[in-house]
Structure 1
């Protein structure tokens, strides 16, 4: 099983960066990168976000919580990012187990269809909250 330190080193090398080069990108001392790759230290949340952006991978992938390099819902999030209400609603309901199959299907749709599907789900959820007082 991969570890954070191994994933970090692999991603750094894929980008053709030295430890010093990565440290410059992250604006941290070289010793920090060395400690990360040795497994002696874990980066803070801001540094994890920078690493994920730099390597174009998800934080879950870096932390070995997933073998999927990208967030599978990234496309959906990008489509909905223009509508804060639907984006927030997506974030809220995307963790629901009863809707996981739907989300798996939705991520393969074009932008207009994704928007429509999430709008419909939100309308149904809103109506149920009103009907059942939730």
Structure 2
């Protein structure tokens, strides 16, 4: 499931309109619509707000087929690192996203291999 699909699903589970989610995360309805229709990606700060709003992990939101887990914010160093991503160039951000996707794929592949064995 993509990021767009996940936030739409989380929002509808709460029976929220896009307006409600927009208010909760400090943006407008148009932005929420763009996120849910996969027309734009939110900033890292907004991803953190969405995760906090729905109490889901950030990796669940960003990595396809990642298991849904509650948000745990007891490690401020992780939050600081996530917020620092905004200071990077788009090329550097894209590299980080590719690394995250690669690690998620590697873990999924390990899971499939262990099921086959």
- TM above 0.5, yes or no, is yes
1:58 aligns with: 57
Give the Cα separation in 1 of the matches to 2:14 and 2:48.
17
**Cα deviation 1:72-112 (Å, max 9, x = unaligned):** 9x4xx74xx6xx9xx89xxxxxxxxxxxxxxxxxxxxxxxx
Shift of 1:39: 0.2
**Cα deviation 1:3-56 (Å, max 9, x = unaligned):** 111001000111221001101111111100000000001110111001001111
After the TM superposition, which residues 103-122 of structure 1 pair with which residues of structure 2 at under 5 Å, given as runs?
none
Give the Cα separation in 2 of the matches to 1:7 and 1:65.
9
8 Å contact kept, 1:60–1:66: no
2:115 aligns with: none
Give the Cα separation in 2 of the matches to 1:54 and 1:27.
11
2:39 aligns with: 40
Give the Cα separation in 2 of the matches to 1:32 and 1:61.
20
1:24 aligns with 2:40: no
Shift of 1:68: 1.8
Structure with larger RCO (C-alpha < 8 A, sep 6+): 2
Aligned length: 78
RMSD: 2.6
Which one has a bigger Cα radius of gyration?
1
2:92 aligns with: none
Shift of 1:66: 4.9
Q: Where does the alignment leave 5 or more consecutive residues of structure 1 unmatched? A: 89-134
The TM-score, its normalising length taken from structure 2, stands at 0.58
Q: Which aligned segments of 4 or more residues in structure 1 are displaced greater than 3 angstroms?
A: none
Q: Where does the alignment leave 5 or more consecutive residues of structure 2 unmatched? A: 79-117
